[in-house]
Amino acid sequence: MHVLDQQGASPMDALSDKTPEAPPGAAAKSARTPSGKRKQRRALLLNALSVVLGIALWWALAATGFKLPTPPQVVSRAGTLISDGTLADDVLASLTRVVIGFVLGTAVAIPVGFLMGWYATARALIEPWIQFFRTIPPLAIIPLAIVVMGIDETPKIFVIFLAAFLACVISTFQGVVNVDRTLIDAARVLGAKDGRIFARVVVPASTPFILVGMRVGLGSAWATLVAAELIAAQQGLGYRMQNAQLYYDLPTIFVGLISIGILGLLMDRVLLLAERKLTGWQERR
């Protein structure tokens, strides 16, 4: 999108493979300034303070009679699960399901979203089905998935795939339809064909929307995990939490919740880093 905003660029410059771009590292340059470093340090300090206050509040609630395990109890239970290898096996099983379902959902959602946004015929054919399935929670698909796909890994991954797909496809579609029409018209005036416009204008302009959709889809994938592991799972964080529920084992439930939260946070930070690298031309606060 920024290709067409260059002041003084000739038509050949605007449409050639050597299109002027921001200098490498320009997006990160402000972060290396004293002001940028101070903001980063302040943000990290506030993050740490927030975690400490959250743990303190949790401990206080447990001490005042709420049916919550204390942080030391949860740490002790986590140590037991780590030492016998149970937590590592559960994390690996759940992470594998989420990554496969999320990657497949995103890989399908992006081209479908582009088709819906770029071609009116495709939009008319596909959008009713997207909107229809958006009103059905992925968890409601579980009984059907079990009957049709059995009780192995396939239905578990499918419901996670569906959650990620529905979140990402709408965001991608909105990114395409929200591209400034002036940029497209300007590219046509400069002689660009549809393929060139799509690659040099539509895709860059839609990238922020796609990445936001991926982050939302990732959250949906993790949110669906626990229910997905209801399907005859023998390992996984969701399975372990549901099994612990039968014995009122609150520390194990908290270990599962915290593990899911940490894994989801780390994966989200990877996507956020990718967003900053790919959309460095955007102004940010």
Round to whole Å and give the CA distance between 88 and 148.
31
Q: How far is CA 206 from CA 4, 23, 200, in A?
A: 15, 21, 11
pLDDT in tens, 221-238: 998 888 888 777 788 898
Confidence check: pLDDT of 33 > 70:
no
Q: Is the pTM of this model over 0.85?
A: no
Q: What percent of the chain has pLDDT over 90?
A: 29
Q: Domain spans of the chain? A: 24-68, 70-278
Would you state the CATH architecture of domain 70-278? Orthogonal Bundle (1.10)
68's tokens: 């919550």
- Answer for the pair 3, 201: CB distance below 8 angstroms, yes or no: yes
Q: What is the pLDDT of residue 272?
A: 86
Confidence check: pLDDT of 150 > 90:
no
Of 231 and 20, the structure prediction assigns the larger pLDDT to 231
DSSP designation for 22: P
Closest CA to 184 of 169, 211, 203: 203
What confidence tier does 23 reach under pLDDT thresholds 50, 70, 90?
Answer: very low
Confidence check: pLDDT of 283 > 80:
no
Q: What is the pLDDT of residue 91?
A: 93
Stretch 40-54: mean pLDDT: 88
Q: What is the pLDDT of residue 281?
A: 60
Stretch 134-140: mean pLDDT: 83
pLDDT in tens, 65-100: 788 899 999 999 999 999 999 999 999 999 999 999
Confidence check: pLDDT of 259 > 90:
yes
DSSP E strands in the chain: the ranges are none
Of 143 and 53, the structure prediction assigns the larger pLDDT to 53
What confidence tier does 32 reach under pLDDT thresholds 50, 70, 90?
Answer: low
SS3 174: helix
What confidence tier does 285 reach under pLDDT thresholds 50, 70, 90?
Answer: low
Round to whole Å and give the CA distance between 193 and 244.
59
Confidence check: pLDDT of 211 > 70:
yes
Closest CA to 214 of 98, 95, 94: 98
74's tokens: 């949860």
Residue 168: partners with Cβ closer than 8 Å, 6 or more residues away: 105, 106, 109, 110, 113, 210, 213, 214, 216, 217
Instruction: Kindly report which listed range (53-62, 87-96, 145-154, 274-283) carries the lowest average pLDDT score.
Output: 274-283
Let me know if 59 is exposed, middle or buried by CB neighbors in 10 A (0-12, 13-18, 19+): middle
Which H helix or E strand runs over 84? none
Name the CA dihedral angle for 163, 204, 198, 110, rounded to a multiple of 10 degrees. Answer: -10
Let me know if 17 is exposed, middle or buried by CB neighbors in 10 A (0-12, 13-18, 19+): exposed
Of 33 and 231, the structure prediction assigns the larger pLDDT to 231
> 203-228 and 250-278 helices cross at what angle (nearest 10)?
170
User: Best-predicted range by mean pLDDT among 15-19, 99-103, 277-281?
Assistant: 99-103
Stretch 46-67: mean pLDDT: 89
